[in-house]
Structure 1
Amino acid sequence: MSKENYSIAAIAKQIRAIDFKLIKDVLISQLVIDSRSVIDPGHSLFFALPAERDGHQFIDAAYQEGIRSFVISDTHFIHNHADANFLLVADVKTALQELALLNRKIHQLPVIAISGSNGKTIVKEWLFQLLATDYNIVRSPKSFNSQIGVPLAVWQIRDEHTLGIFEAGISRPDEMPRLAAIIQPTIGILTNIGEAHAEGFNSPQEKLLEKLKLFTNTDVFIYAPEYLQGLAEENLPGQRRFSWSMDRKADLRILFVEPIDGKSYIKAIYQDAEIECLIPFTDKASIENAIICWATLLAMGYTAEQADLKLEKLTLVRMRLELKNGINQSSVIDDSYSADISSLAIALDFLNQQNQHDKKTLILSDLLETGKSTDALYAEIAALITQKDVQRLIGIGTEIMEHADLFNVEKQFFQSTEDFIKDFSNLTFNNESILVKGARRFGFERISKLLTQKIHDTVLEVNLNALVSNLKFYKSQLKPGVKIMAMVKAFSYGSGSFEIANVLQFHKVDYLAVAYTDEGIALRKSGITLPIMVMSPEPAAFEAIVKYKLEPELYNLEILKGFIAFLQSDKPAYPVHLKIDTGMHRLGFDEADIEEMLQLIDANDSIKIQSVFSHLAGSDDEKHDLFTRAQIAWFKTVAGKVTDTLGYQPIRHISNTSGITRHPDAQLDMVRLGIGLYGFDSAQEQARTLQTVAVLKTTVTQVKHIKPHDSIGYSRRGVMPEGGEIATVKIGYADGYSRMFGNGVGHMLINGKRVPTIGSICMDMCMLDITGMDVKNGDEVIVFDESLSISELAAQINTIPYEILTNISQRVKRVYFYE
């Protein structure tokens, strides 16, 4: 039995459904866990998984997408939708894993399994590159390696596949045996063991032992002794072991690594003979990952010569989409280095997240080495394009051109990338979202360059996956039913506008908040439909507020009376938010004004009090906890009076980012999540629970040799008594890099090494002391990232991370990444 023949009735038996309602015995080919990510609804099975939000809440949304088969664990849903199949199970995640396990047992092919703390996805993708000419490979999409991701990856195995490559990740004890049972690896690879996901374990060795459970029954286990935490070789898994090492005896013993013209020449001892390879990378992580791949090829029986030829052809793996500003008010999503059906679906989902443009265009190359017939492949792509509501297709390649009749959208086709570029001046791109997705050999980076606005060498990279991870962390800290208002004021703390808001909307926050009306208008024009609170509404903006369905914060009697007077009484009650001053003493109704406020809201039915809220002044600091508790108590008292006056209870919120975890009793009905989204929360600094969202980069413009006692920069403040070398880099105070960082106060990273500023910070550039380093024009310079953090920069000039982030100039281009 092949996977294509799995009927819903057979699945009900395999997952041991407690109860079921079968209306129609359909064949299932797609497993869906997200109602927003549907490819073939007629043959899809939706799993209502528990998460931050119960998957049962999205059954109706999945039904609207056309899905008619569901796996559930809540008996209340089994009789929903008269024409749909429902399978009731004790645990939905276990049911998903059982179904994947069945598919693995049916397909007895060799499987490579990869685990470790770092490098899993790169090693997987490089092994795919190295082995694709010899095998028909199925592999984990992107970095699907969790208790849910692994089953979805293994479900992809089909009869035509001859090799599987899957990665497995864990975050706590006792997770790996289940993944090992699903993957059933024949070859096991342990990559670098670092600190990632260490918080779930008592010790590094406990984490290592848990990861090794993946390889218990492998035919061969590939590893580096350096990462074994002192574990004896006889206690290692695998019937056969293959080791590699940079500094000790091993099956593949690395002698040296030598950089040559942007590549790395590596010599090693293997089977008592010297062997060599050349890889097109020079950074430490890539060298290690390439050596792991080298060891794997040798362990699989390839000769040293065969392995060398393959390794030299390795190409860069980009696992993330880039969102950039395009020409003619367009947005460009650059995924120009990979093309397969799974990543196409992911990229189209991201295209739909960024819904600031009505028109969506896909530029797509031939998809190569998919293992499917071209007729079946392009029929599936055509259905996917229709389902994802793409209005325009530009196909490049002979295969997609031959299947042009399958696509019922606005379409154009070109035989090659060169033909597209030649005709580019005759093509029109205007006010649309454009997804550029091509197999590497088509060189679509050239197309992306044509479509993208020229980017200043100083760039703020915003990691949208990190933003989502931080959002999920705070969701996990909330009590059931508590809503989230996400703060996107001040250009989302310098990180972006609609780009951030669209992601937050996609991940179902409940409210957005902006400072001023024009910020809210910009979001509405970019397709944001979430409720938006305006925190500083001006009377002159009342008309625009109502026109764009924004919700004003009313914070004193004057603005309350003014907005009531503006509204027409014959219209439905308009949603507003009342702010109470409980001690912040910035904005809000004072205690003396509460009674008159209550009288006004009681006497006027032209407004609806959507929420009543206040602001904690010192929620992040233990020394202010007594004051914070007093604020919370007074706020609850006033909110109670508002409820008594209205006869209904508005949403109550007082907790900010730090308050969410430090004062859980203040979560009430909603919390306001601000700087924590972007990776900063003084209440979480020691826990390492948040990810860095923004990385600021620039480049070296010129390298100069300075003579002894020469001065550098304005007012001759930089002096090199012994001479040396400096690098001028393309960032200055007009970009948001404060003059206070001058004269050695600030540091940047070049080639992984910290270097100090020297001399004064100029408007558009500054200078770094690079004496003794090998630096050249065009080298990348890191202003801040996860290792040189914004918090550290803030401490250097005695300010706070908010100021560092929000000061980054609008002329610094933002590039958004999504994995």
Structure 2
Amino acid sequence: MFTLEEMLTIEHIAVENLSPNRVLRIRRITTDSRNVKPGDAFVAIRGERFDGNRFVDAAVERGAVCAIVNEGLKHTKLRVPLIRVKDTTRALGELARLHRRKFDIPVIAITGSSGKTTTKEMVHSVLKTKYNVLSTKGNLNNHIGVPQTLFRLKKNHEVAVIEMGMNHVGEIHYLCEMAEPTHGVVTNIGKAHLGYFKSIEQVAEAKGELFDWIAERGERVGFINMDDSLVVRQSKKVRNKITYSCSRSRAAMQSRLERVDAKGQPVIELTSKGWKKPVTISMRIAGIHNISNVTAAAAIGKEFGISPGEIQSALQNFKPVSGRLEVSRISGVTIVNDAYNANPESVMSALETIASMDCRGRRIVVLGDMLELGTSSRSEHKHIGAALLKFQCDMLLTVGTYTKHLNNAAKIKEKIHYDDKRQLIQQLSGSVQKGDVVLIKGSHGMRMDEVVNELVKYLKPKT
């Protein structure tokens, strides 16, 4: 991956224990001392609750041949090269950029308030029909996760798909400096992470840093969601635009909803200039909002030379990512597991989805707090509560701090709020019946996946 000499090109303060062997080969870069293997370099990252500098000795014991540490690290008993830097996180990013520059391949960056991971997985599914694709694992999309993805680049990779997340101004720009994308897409702009910003317009500017980066670098390409006015506004400077839309006939890639089946899965028609005829896709993922993600993936696929038939096959066989509108049926109960994360837009989309599903029993909605909404937290939860009635919700169970306001605003007869998740699980398990459709959703920090797991355990036939 690196030689020691290459690693010394990053900005550093001092180097200790430098041997004459500057061509010492570094097999891998890692930030977790528990995962170090012989030949690795260990980067001692500092976080709010941990300090990797405390584990340098352990990393060396496990076989690390080099370590990047903060300038203030005291002990000097180690005999491997120590590269002292002001900021080990920045050093990690520099190394990631250094490694990325070894590969002359397209890099597609994907950001947005929601749908990033699903779109990334869809794009991967489409592109792998023709290319050897590297993509972000899970949602490792921050200043630590993006380097980890870039370090996985190898000579046989032909294209990379990098998911980028953010919760403050400048973060997307920093990730772009690292990954140097040739193509970029902003899926949408909504209220996720609003607590870190003064307004949704400021959120848009922060997400738009991807388009700014692309616009400043000539021939790079932006994929523009024409159905989101904030995305369109942020893309104005992009010279090479490929548009997509679920409603506008002039977009380069267009989709049209034909119908929604009993499982809440859309059937759509895709059309694009240069295609001889439209392509029909029977989606295997629920939710009308996912049509936009499919359309984006199709637009990217076409730009990369994937045939209409291959795009159709890849997207028609695409299954949802775990915890994102993942539908399962156990003992006659339909569980809609959307527990991975939540923001106002994604909650409304999930409610719209279960309203479109065939239900012979009750529609039960189980919600945890939507976090990181700042001063808008109370009002956004109230807004969701007031909207529940139109989504044919029969029963509402909530847990958390802000969902109390949601529960109070809901005009539903059967509703209960809990401060304790265990009590909610007991109530849900005791009341669920055959034919019910149960939606479970909340921000990642609420760990609503625990509710899903306990409900599944309760419903599974006992052997």
- TM-score over 0.5 for the alignment? yes
Q: Alpha carbons of 1:809 and 1:801: their partners in 2 closer, same or farther (altered >3 Å)?
A: closer
Matched position secondary structure for 1:180: helix
Contact 2:284 2:317 in 1 (8 A): yes
Aligned to 1:137: 133
Question: In structure 2, how many angstroms separate the alpha carbons of the residues matched to 1:753 and 1:221?
Answer: 35
Matched position secondary structure for 1:241: strand
Match status 1:809 vs 2:447: no
| Aligned residue type for 2:166 | I
Match status 1:241 vs 2:241: yes
Provide, for residues 33-62 of structure 1, a one-character-per-residue CA deviation record: whole Å limited to 9, x for no partner. Answer: 2233x1x52122221222112222333443
Match status 1:755 vs 2:372: no
Aligned to 1:229: 230
Contact 1:457 1:730 in 2 (8 A): no
Question: In structure 2, how many angstroms separate the alpha carbons of the residues matched to 1:206 and 1:226?
Answer: 19
2:101 to 105, 111, 121: 105
Matched position secondary structure for 2:189: coil
Match status 1:275 vs 2:278: yes
Matched position secondary structure for 2:266: strand
Residue 244 of structure 1, CA deviation = 1.3
Contact 1:748 1:756 in 2 (8 A): no
Provide, for residues 78-113 of structure 1, a one-character-per-residue CA deviation record: whole Å limited to 9, x for no partner. Answer: 5143x3331101221111111111111111111111
Residue 127 of structure 1, CA deviation = 1.5
Residue 314 of structure 1, CA deviation = 2.0
Aligned to 2:47: 51
Aligned-residue sequence identity (percent) comes to 21
Provide, for residues 387-440 of structure 1, a one-character-per-residue CA deviation record: whole Å limited to 9, x for no partner. Answer: xxxxxxxxxxxxxxxxxxxxxxxxxxxxxxxxxxxxxxxxxxxxxxxxxxxxxx
Residue 21 of structure 1, CA deviation = 2.4
| Aligned residue type for 1:291 | T
Structure-to-structure mapping, 1:317-328, within 5 angstroms: 317-318=321-322
Question: In structure 1, how many angstroms separate the alpha carbons of the residues matched to 2:167 and 2:84?
Answer: 28
1:62 to 45, 59, 62: 59
Matched position secondary structure for 1:41: coil
Match status 1:295 vs 2:293: no
Provide, for residues 738-791 of structure 1, a one-character-per-residue CA deviation record: whole Å limited to 9, x for no partner. Answer: xxxxxxxxx99999924346xxxxxxxxxxxxxxxxxxxxxxxx7447999466
Question: In structure 1, how many angstroms separate the alpha carbons of the residues matched to 2:364 and 2:394?
Answer: 15
Contact 1:72 1:86 in 2 (8 A): yes
Structure-to-structure mapping, 1:198-217, within 5 angstroms: 198-215=194-211, 216=214, 217=217
Aligned to 1:160: 156
| Aligned residue type for 1:297 | G
Aligned to 2:220: 219
Aligned to 1:189: 185
Q: Alpha carbons of 1:702 and 1:294: their partners in 2 closer, same or farther (altered >3 Å)?
A: closer
2:68 to 53, 67, 71: 71
Residue 64 of structure 1, CA deviation = 4.8
Contact 1:21 1:79 in 2 (8 A): no
Q: Alpha carbons of 1:65 and 1:749: their partners in 2 closer, same or farther (altered >3 Å)?
A: farther
Residue 13 of structure 1, CA deviation = 3.0
Question: In structure 2, how many angstroms separate the alpha carbons of the residues matched to 1:271 and 1:102?
Answer: 38
Residue 286 of structure 1, CA deviation = 2.5
Residue 170 of structure 1, CA deviation = 1.8
2:268 to 250, 262, 266: 266
Residue 297 of structure 1, CA deviation = 1.6
Aligned to 1:308: 312
Provide, for residues 1-28 of structure 1, a one-character-per-residue CA deviation record: whole Å limited to 9, x for no partner. Answer: xx2xx12343123344523323676422
Question: In structure 1, how many angstroms separate the alpha carbons of the residues matched to 2:261 and 2:334?
Answer: 28
Question: In structure 2, how many angstroms separate the alpha carbons of the residues matched to 1:296 and 1:139?
Answer: 14
Q: Alpha carbons of 1:133 and 1:244: their partners in 2 closer, same or farther (altered >3 Å)?
A: closer
Matched position secondary structure for 2:32: coil
Residue 269 of structure 1, CA deviation = 4.3
Q: Alpha carbons of 1:458 and 1:63: their partners in 2 closer, same or farther (altered >3 Å)?
A: farther
Question: In structure 2, how many angstroms separate the alpha carbons of the residues matched to 1:302 and 1:134?
Answer: 7
* Matched positions, count: 388
Aligned to 1:575: none
Residue 180 of structure 1, CA deviation = 1.3
Range with bigger deviation, 44-53 or 296-305: 296-305
| Aligned residue type for 2:418 | P
Question: In structure 1, how many angstroms separate the alpha carbons of the residues matched to 2:309 and 2:96?
Answer: 38
Question: In structure 1, how many angstroms separate the alpha carbons of the residues matched to 2:254 and 2:185?
Answer: 17
Structure-to-structure mapping, 1:462-501, within 5 angstroms: none
Structure-to-structure mapping, 1:708-727, within 5 angstroms: 727=361
Q: Alpha carbons of 1:94 and 1:807: their partners in 2 closer, same or farther (altered >3 Å)?
A: closer
| Aligned residue type for 2:393 | V
Contact 1:222 1:243 in 2 (8 A): yes
Question: In structure 2, how many angstroms separate the alpha carbons of the residues matched to 1:753 and 1:132?
Answer: 38
Q: Alpha carbons of 1:87 and 1:316: their partners in 2 closer, same or farther (altered >3 Å)?
A: same
Matched position secondary structure for 1:256: strand
Structure with higher Rg: it is 1
TM-score between both structures, scaled by the size of structure 1: 0.41
Provide, for residues 475-514 of structure 1, a one-character-per-residue CA deviation record: whole Å limited to 9, x for no partner. Answer: xxxxxxxxxxxxxxxxxxxxxxxxxxxxxxxxxxxxxxxx
**Aligned residues: CA RMSD:** 4.4
Aligned to 1:128: 124
Residue 221 of structure 1, CA deviation = 1.1
Question: In structure 2, how many angstroms separate the alpha carbons of the residues matched to 1:265 and 1:458?
Answer: 20
Question: In structure 2, how many angstroms separate the alpha carbons of the residues matched to 1:293 and 1:163?
Answer: 14
Q: Alpha carbons of 1:224 and 1:785: their partners in 2 closer, same or farther (altered >3 Å)?
A: farther
Question: In structure 1, how many angstroms separate the alpha carbons of the residues matched to 2:247 and 2:68?
Answer: 52
Matched position secondary structure for 1:77: coil
Residue 730 of structure 1, CA deviation = 9.8
Q: Alpha carbons of 1:458 and 1:295: their partners in 2 closer, same or farther (altered >3 Å)?
A: closer
TM-score between both structures, scaled by the size of structure 2: 0.70
| Aligned residue type for 2:206 | E
1:117 to 106, 113, 125: 113
Provide, for residues 356-409 of structure 1, a one-character-per-residue CA deviation record: whole Å limited to 9, x for no partner. Answer: xxxxxxxxxxxxxxxxxxxxxxxxxxxxxxxxxxxxxxxxxxxxxxxxxxxxxx
Q: Alpha carbons of 1:8 and 1:66: their partners in 2 closer, same or farther (altered >3 Å)?
A: same
* Gap runs ≥5 in structure 1: 323-444, 467-678, 680-686, 692-697, 704-726, 732-746, 758-781
Q: Which has the higher contact order (CA 8 A, sep 6+)?
A: 2
Matched position secondary structure for 1:302: coil
Residue 172 of structure 1, CA deviation = 1.3
| Aligned residue type for 1:176 | I
Question: In structure 2, how many angstroms separate the alpha carbons of the residues matched to 1:137 and 1:251?
Answer: 24
Question: In structure 1, how many angstroms separate the alpha carbons of the residues matched to 2:4 and 2:261?
Answer: 57
